[in-house]
Amino acid sequence: MKKYILLVIATTLLLSSYAQKQTVVSYFKKDTITVNKDDYDYKRIIEETDTPSIYRLFEFYPDNKAKTSASISKFDPYIVYEGLCLSYNKQGVLVSKINFKNGKLSGECIYYYDNGKLQNLFVYDELANNPDKQQRKWVTGIDSLGNQFIKDGNGTYKGTDKEGLTEEGNYLDGYKNGIWKGTSDKGSYEEIYENGIFKSGRSTLKNGKQIKYREIDQKPEFKKGIAEFYQYLNWNYKLPQEAEENGVRGRLYITFVVEKDGSLTNYEFKNNLGYGTQEEAERVLNSCPKWIPGMQHGIPVRVKYTININLPTR
């Protein structure tokens, strides 16, 4: 009898220890959280581990086939990946095996075609003079027909991305080298690289205008700086009366697109505080003066941008 009682107590304590671990389950439709558990694209489960500040993330398609398996160090309001992350297509085929450090690509990252055959192998390293940025070394590149155009870091690339940009140039020891040329619906450009280091670039727009640039990618920015933009939000965001009456506090996390003309569109809220707080954020952003748009190769492009708004008190 005593053995039985001790066994019950031990089992209860064990179950209690498991119950204390946090588990978060979310459902997504087009990468946006949905409450409809009968119509979703994938399900995400986040579980605590025995390692402090490290969680396990699992994602599943509606038929319970694995979509993603990874470790993360943060999940609210944004996910920060750590270590190995595995991704699968709907047929259960591994399509990527990539590594992260503090949410940034790090080390060896391998990508596969939907049939499981090798597509690309990259190695990401921190820049010696700027640890916040990574330098990508392209080791292996194979096209969909099985032709290897990058071998041991050497070869010639020519391709078109999702935005319709076509570019071509040479790789030497894994890095861009020499003259690279590109074309898009906006015009063309020519750039010079030395061992992966961008030296200079010049774009020629469809109207014949030429633009010289010293940076490949320029982030969009508020004309008077980000501090002035947050000051604009502080001055113009008014907490809805309904939110005040219900004691709503906290932050709204928002992603939007800075268009090529500097206007703001496509608002996505990473959390929902309700009571008109989102609608007020949209009103303020819609009234915002235009930004300086982001640039790629000297040409304006659409860029996603993320901010947070601290809800004011009356």
Per-residue model confidence as pLDDT tens digits over 176-227: 999 999 998 888 999 999 999 999 999 998 888 898 998 888 899 999 899 9
Per-residue model confidence as pLDDT tens digits over 77-108: 789 999 999 999 999 999 999 999 999 999 99
Residue 243: pLDDT over 90: no
**Dihedral angle over CA of 97, 22, 255, 122, nearest 10:** -10
Instruction: Please count the structural domains in the chain.
Output: 2
Cα–Cα distances (Å) from 197 to 194, 222, 274, in that order, read 5, 28, 47
Partner residues linked to 289 by β-bridges: none
Per-residue model confidence as pLDDT tens digits over 281-312: 999 999 999 999 998 888 888 999 998 888 87
The structure tokens 């990874």 sit at 70
Contact 242, 276 (CB under 8 A): yes
Rounded to an integer, the average pLDDT of 254-262 is 93
d(CA 282, CA 23): 32
d(CA 70, CA 288): 38
Check residue 14 and give its pLDDT: 42
Residue 280: pLDDT over 80: yes
By residue count, the chain amounts to 314
Check residue 13 and give its pLDDT: 43
Residue 221 lies in a domain: no
d(CA 83, CA 96): 13
Residue 253 lies in a domain: yes
d(CA 83, CA 104): 10
Same domain, 241 and 297: yes
Per-residue model confidence as pLDDT tens digits over 29-57: 988 888 899 999 999 999 999 998 899 99
Residue 257: pLDDT over 80: yes
Q: Report which DSSP code applies to 209.
A: -
Residue 45 lies in a domain: no
Strands 42-48 and 166-172: unpaired
Residue 194 has which token pair? Answer: 């030395």
The whole-chain average pLDDT of the chain stands at: 88
Residue 4 lies in a domain: no
The dihedrals phi and psi of 237, each to the nearest 5 degrees, come to -80, 120
Residue 12: pLDDT over 80: no
Residue 125 lies in a domain: no
CATH number at residue 230: 3.30.2420.10
Residue 117: pLDDT over 50: yes
Residue 149: pLDDT over 50: yes
Report H helices in the chain: 2-19, 226-236, 241-245, 277-286
Question: Which structural domain, as residue segments, surrounds residue 192?
Answer: 153-214
Q: Give the residue from 167, 182, 214 where a domain finishes.
A: 214
Q: Give the residue from 192, 214, 236 where a domain finishes.
A: 214
Residue 314: pLDDT over 80: no
d(CA 231, CA 239): 16
* Residue from 270, 264, 262 nearest 282 by CA: 264
Cα 95 to its chain centre, rounded Å, is 17
